[in-house]
Each structure stands twice: as structure tokens, then as C-alpha cells.
């Protein structure tokens, strides 16, 4: 574990990852990208290569790795001038819809947050994410609930029809959010 936030060392890792991206598995790539995002150090060549690499070409790209990668792209958005983040999010939205049922609550909340953070507008995607969040057997802790609430509010998913974009009327989801907030109020920490 690197104790210091050594941007130079992480840039070196990123450069090697670009050179050998085909040899890296999902965990390796997500660790490097997550580390860069954590210290707010965009590495445009790596982000470009990763955005353009099909997910099915990356061995071992599970929910944790995928969640870390989209979180990293969303966190670094605005710190770099590359446009490939939009490509990544447009292309991976379909993967999220197909695999949402496999995500645990943390991954679901992080992925929803990432799509909202980059202002990705896709009511179908957010509808699937809302239904997955409401699934009866899903345990949602206060942090995940707070992240989901922020994400849906920020994404403009307010359940009202709009002349600017297609909206969805979904009072059931917002009632669920309110009910869950009350149910978990005792677990919230200041």
C-alpha cells in the first residue's frame, strides 16, 4: 500500500497500464484508475484507452471493478479535457441495465451516482436502477440511500413529464425512498 499520495508513481503505473492494457485484468485496471481518481490526477491516455476498450475484453471485470471504473471516470470528469468519458457511459449503460440484478447495494449506489454525476440522461437506465434499488430482498444502508437520493435528484429523475426531456412519473420510487429514509433514520450518523 502506498502511504503517500504519489502522483508521479501513479502516473508511471498508468503509463505501464496503457502499454500493457491487454495484459491487465479488471482489478488491475480499476485499482490504477481508482487510485488516480482518489488523488484527482487524470491520466488522459489511460482513460482514453480504457473508455475505448470493450468491457467483455477485460478479464475479471466484476461489479466491484466496474463500479470503481465508472466512479473514477465520473470523479475525474471536468479535471481533464478528454471526451471519451461520454463514450464509456453511453456504451456501458446497456451493461448496467443487463446486470443491475447482480449488483449489491453499494455498487448500485456508486454506479447510479457516477451516471448522475456526469449528467447522463437515460430514463430507461434510471428506471431500471430505481426498480433494482426497491427490490424487496435488497438491504440499503444509510450511505447508499443518501447516494441514491442525491443521484436521482441530480439526474433530474423527478418523476414529472418535462418538455426538455422525456421524464417518468414514478411516485412509487420516491415513496420508497422516503419510507426507507424513515426506516433507517436510527442508523444515520451525523
Contacts of 47 (CB under 8 A, 6+ apart): 33, 73, 76, 80, 82, 84, 85
CA distance 144 to 152: 12
Q: What is the pLDDT of residue 165?
A: 45
User: Is 167's pLDDT higher than 50?
Assistant: no
pLDDT band at 82 (very low <50, low <70, confident <90, very high): low
Report, in angstroms and rounded to the nearest whole number, the Rg of the chain calculated over CA atoms.
Answer: 17
CA distance 33 to 47: 8
Amino acid at each position: 500500500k502506498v502511504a503517500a499520495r504519489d502522483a508521479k508513481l501513479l502516473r508511471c503505473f498508468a503509463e505501464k497500464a496503457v502499454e500493457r492494457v491487454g495484459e491487465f485484468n479488471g482489478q488491475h485496471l480499476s485499482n490504477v484508475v481508482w487510485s488516480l481518481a482518489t488523488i484527482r490526477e487524470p491520466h488522459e491516455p489511460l482513460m482514453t484507452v480504457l473508455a475505448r476498450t470493450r468491457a467483455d475484453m477485460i478479464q475479471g471485470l466484476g461489479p466491484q471493478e466496474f463500479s470503481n471504473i465508472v466512479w473514477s471516470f465520473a470523479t475525474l470528469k471536468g479535471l481533464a479535457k478528454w471526451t471519451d468519458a461520454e463514450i464509456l457511459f453511453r456504451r456501458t449503460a446497456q451493461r448496467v441495465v443487463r446486470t443491475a440484478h447482480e449488483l449489491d447495494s453499494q455498487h448500485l449506489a456508486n454506479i447510479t451516482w457516477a451516471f448522475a454525476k456526469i449528467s447522463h440522461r437515460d430514463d430507461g437506465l434510471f428506471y431500471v436502477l430505481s426498480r433494482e434499488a426497491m427490490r424487496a430482498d435488497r438491504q440499503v444502508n444509510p450511505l447508499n440511500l443518501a447516494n441514491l437520493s442525491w443521484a436521482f435528484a441530480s439526474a433530474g429523475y423527478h418523476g414529472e413529464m418535462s418538455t426538455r426531456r422525456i421524464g417518468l412519473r414514478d411516485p412509487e420510487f420516491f415513496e420508497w425512498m422516503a419510507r426507507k429514509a424513515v426506516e433507517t433514520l436510527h442508523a444515520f450518523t451525523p
